[in-house]
Amino acid sequence: MSDDQPAEPDWVAVFSPRSADDSAQDQRSRAVAPSAGGCAETVDDLGDGDLGPRAWLDDAWAALPERSRDILRRRLAGETLDEIGLALNLTRERVRQVQKASEGALVRAMEKRAPQLLSALHTELGDSPAVADRHIATLVDAHSTTALGCLLKTLGVSHPRTWAGALSEFWTFRPNELRQQLGRMVELAPLTHEEADQAAAELGLSEDLDWRSVLAHSNSKLAAHDLGWIRPARLTRDVAYLWLKLEGEPRPADEIAVQAGCSEHAARENMRRDPAFSQVRPEGTWALSDWRVPGSENRYSSAVDALVEVLRDLGPLPVDQLRVETQRRYPVSDWRVNQCLSSNLIGLNAAGLYDLAERGAVPVEDTEPKQPSNIKTSGDVVGIELVVDREILRGSGIPVNRWLTWHLGLRTAPSTRYFALPEGHGEVRVTRMTSNAQVSSLRAVAAEFGLVEGCKFALLLNTSTDTASVRHVCPQDACGARTATH
């Protein structure tokens, strides 16, 4: 297989293998880069000093009396006014007065010497639930992390709060937003690892954020498992669900029980009571209810089927009423119902109500999701950087961010677009379903290039010619496939 078709644009250089000299230079750059809590490069270093002279915050902090700094330190550490007053032999009110006066002094110093800092913080943080402190360090040059923390807190910036506690290396104007976003992932459980990655990307979680550690915290309602993310309170059912999902076909209860770590009787009872499973007659095997398996006893084969029947039975409905009635008949999360709203079987009528497309409702197209960092475009070509894993080598479809299907015009579900591979090597299918988006199996491509687990490659799609090509982009000196052939 060659890379001649389609022609590669200049931007594909972002996927090019990096030389040893480049890697060494990056290591030297990281070695001298300051930490987010230390003396970081400032906007002053990069431009004309719009944010004021260097080290102004350290100067303002040093100008405060030691007792004032002590009170601010203690408050930042979470001590109450009463606790500080007892330790310093002050009244509660006096502690509050000193705190307010000291915070005011820091703000006045900012207004005088860095008047655009607050605006810059709003630009940098926006509505993001978590921004790494290294980004804050580029806005203000301060040796004292305590001084910076006190100023940010006074300006309404705080650490994101989750069930794992406050994330001290991140900042936000919306401290509860991250917990809510992670809570949406909990609602989606059980999830395979690939589905969790896709959900995190679609929620727009920062690439700097180790959201897996937060989800795996002891206070979380989820736990990491070899198969994916499960709810400890529903351990056996969730493991059974994920195992069946990865198997991809109905299985007998005794096999499911072995994987779930319970008796066959317990496995049968758990699946019988859970609408996510259905028994296939007459052989008696078990499948997931979302599968369209002949002989299954479930009334609905998917959430879309339930939603369509609600509209057929009750007529046009506002979205809130449609969601409630669908969930009454087919228990799924709000997230799943929202996904179903992109189905081409339903849409909005002239009155703004959801109805069936067969009755004239216009299907609702997806709005543009956030573009992920591993997908780039230039003109008619879009490239996706992928990493070979066991699922690719076994021939599974490859989950991708919905931005790709949106960019390709696949904005209702189900919809598919085809791209021909060169030299008669078949085609690549990009499919948008209500629940996910994916690229068809690339196992043959991996075999043709001799790719092994861990290899990086770029899939290039030309939207004007509907052709595809692949480029192996591993560094020469760090590629398992290339090393194995020498």
363 and 304 Cβ atoms separated by less than 8 Å: no
CA-CA-CA-CA dihedral for 326, 331, 333, 334, to nearest 10: 20
| Domain count across the chain | 4
Task: Answer yes or no: do 67 and 167 share one domain.
Answer: yes
Q: Of 239, 257, 288, which residue sits at a domain end?
A: 288
Whether 246 maps to a domain, the answer reads: yes
Residue 399 in domain: yes
Please indicate, yes or no, if residue 182 is contained in any of the structural domains.
no
Q: Determine, yes or no, domain membership for 20.
A: no
Half-sphere exposure of 287 (CA within 13 A, CB side): 21
Whether residue 115 is found in the same domain as residue 139 = yes
Q: Domain of 386: which CATH number? A: 2.40.330.10
Q: What is the pLDDT of residue 168?
A: 87
Same domain, 70 and 156: yes
- Pair 147, 224 in one domain: no
Tell me: the pLDDT tens digits for 186-233? 999 999 999 999 999 888 888 888 999 999 998 999 999 999 999 998
250-284 pLDDT, tens digit each: 999 999 999 999 999 889 888 888 888 988 866 77
Q: Are 335 and 439 in a shared domain? A: no
Answer yes or no: do 338 and 417 share one domain.
Answer: no
Which range marks the domain in which residue 69 is found? 50-175
Q: Kindly state whether residues 464 and 401 are assigned to the same domain.
A: yes
How many helical (H) and strand (E) elements, i.e. helices and strands, does the chain have? 22, 19
Q: Are residues 256 and 152 in the same domain?
A: no
Angle (CA) 145-149-152 rounded to 5° is 135
**What pairs with residue 398 in β-bridges?**
439
383: phi then psi, degrees, rounded to nearest 5: -120, 140
Residue where a domain stops, chosen among 143, 175, 207: 175
Q: Are residues 59 and 167 in the same domain?
A: yes
Same domain, 161 and 264: no
pTM of the model: 0.48
Residue ranges of the chain with per-residue pLDDT less than 50: 1-52, 485-486
pLDDT value of position 295: 62
Q: What is the distance between the alpha carbons of residues 154 and 435, in angstroms, rounded to a whole number?
A: 42
Write out pLDDT tens, residues 144-200: 888 999 999 999 999 999 999 999 899 999 999 999 989 999 999 999 999 999 999
